Amino acid sequence: MSEFFTALIAVAVVLGFMILIHEWGHYAAAKLLGVRVEVFSIGFGKRLLGFRRGDTDYRIAAIPLGGYVKMSGENPMDAHTGDPAEFMSHPRWHRFIIAIAGPAMNILLAIGLLTGVYMVKYEYPLYADKPVVLAWVKQGSPAADAGLQAGDKIVRVDNIDNPTWDQLEPKIWLSPNQPVNIEVQRGSQTLEKTVTPKPITTSEVGWVGFYPDSPVTVGQLEPGMPAAKAGIKQGDHVVAIDGQPIPHIEAMIEKLQDTKDKPVDLTILRDGKQFDVHLTPVLAKTEDPTEKRYRIGFGNQPQMKVSHLSFPAALDHSLADNKKDSLLILELMKKLVERKVSIRAISGPIGIAQDAGEAAQAKGWTPLLMLSAAISLNLGIFNLLPIPILDGGVILLLLIEGFMRRDISLRIKERIYQAAFVFLVLFAVMVIYNDLAKTIPGLAGRLP
């Protein structure tokens, strides 16, 4: 129950702050350009509390699923008096600035948050920026079916030459059931291969079954499980099982499924000393409540590179990461429209709450700040989509009117906004149902 309230409080604070920043962007631009702001609201529906200052009612409303800024004469279907403080009385370039200011603030916040985090702690997996050399290939996986082997080096994937793991992994995740063309260097040979990622997890992201060289380090131990009983400690490195080297945690998991409940010998490296531990795996639950597998009871702790960046370097990395993530968001949206990626790949308020709860309970502020940066960027990009009602839709109509050199008729605008409203309501219902389906195992099978 405490985890539920932690998640609830975390998502309320994070989303509330993101919305506040977004709406403040619209508000500040409107005030600067002389547009009268009637309401600045966090949430929708009935006004719960607030205060009035000047022409503006600052309020918190009953439904905490967003927020809005209401400007005088903003709705094109309303009667207009010609008052110079009304939104529609201002030139199109003024209205463009006001519309884009909200998403711009979210994107700037994402850049600022990551810059601050990277100045304190710049952390990423040890293998992420290394060339893609396969340390292990899972039997029966799409990679194995395509003929890939341990030791292969991927020198091209689609249009990327000499990719790193950080560049390759998103390509795989966003290509479930879609062939991915790769070029492989094997010794002196160069081979052309096609691998088709398999959708896995409730999010149905792509998976191929090859892995980098990422040594197994013991993270959190589960009380009462074989590893804890055998005296294994957090920070130990698992070098081998029954004398076979273990290059990745997935190789260890597969080995345990092969041995089942037979005793195994783990070779452990601790403080520069190597020794063997004898233990017996047990059939136990996993993070997926519907799955059981043979386990010894510890979480893997990936080896990370950790450093502190100067402000210029942190800003440079933040800009690069936000650009990369923005392109991934756009590619995901494109593939959703093309029905190449399942709707399960996106998360709504329930999924965000779960992630926020986990980040809030993690050690330090870094996980929660990085999640906030990701949410802020997603919010900014989503609001720039050319869908009427959203900021991107307002911008699109302004550009069309500017090209036509006249306003679109009110009747057409009314129909456009009605259709957009129905679309957004249906989309919200679908996303929330999708969240529930991923949270409640019995419901997941009903999704297409």
Q: Which of 155, 183, 211 is the last residue of a domain?
A: 211
Q: What local confidence, expressed as pLDDT, does residue 447 receive? A: 36
For residue 329, being part of any structural domain is answered with no
What's the whole-model pTM score? 0.85
For residue 282, being part of any structural domain is answered with yes
Tens digit of each residue's pLDDT (9 = 90 or more) over 352-406: 777 777 777 777 788 888 989 999 999 999 999 988 888 999 899 899 988 888 8
For residue 415, being part of any structural domain is answered with yes
Model confidence band, residue 164 (pLDDT cutoffs 50, 70, 90): very high
Closest by CA position to 134, among listed 198, 174, 191? 191
Q: Which long-range contacts (CB under 8 A, 24 or more apart) does 171-174 make?
A: 172/197, 172/206, 172/207, 172/208, 173/197, 173/205, 173/206, 174/205, 174/206, 174/328, 174/331, 174/332, 174/335, 174/341, 174/345
Q: What local confidence, expressed as pLDDT, does residue 78 receive? A: 67
Mean pLDDT of the chain: 88
Q: Which of 211, 246, 267 is the last residue of a domain?
A: 211
Does the pLDDT of residue 76 top 50, yes or no? Answer: yes
For residue 195, being part of any structural domain is answered with yes
Model confidence band, residue 292 (pLDDT cutoffs 50, 70, 90): confident
Identify the CATH number of the domain in which residue 270 sits.
Answer: 2.30.42.10
For residue 317, being part of any structural domain is answered with no
Q: What local confidence, expressed as pLDDT, does residue 448 receive? A: 39
Residues in contact with 274: Cβ distance below 8 Å, sequence separation at least 6, in sequence order:
239, 267, 268
For residue 335, being part of any structural domain is answered with no
**Host domain of residue 240:** 216-301
Same domain, 6 and 106: yes
Would you call 135 helix, strand, or coil by DSSP? coil
Q: Which of 189, 211, 233 is the last residue of a domain?
A: 211
Residue 116 CA to residue 113 CA, distance in Å, equals 5
Same domain, 95 and 142: no
For residue 76, being part of any structural domain is answered with yes
For residue 251, being part of any structural domain is answered with yes
Same domain, 96 and 13: yes
Same domain, 110 and 151: no
Same domain, 205 and 222: no
Q: Considering its fold, how many domains does the chain have in total?
A: 3
Same domain, 201 and 188: yes
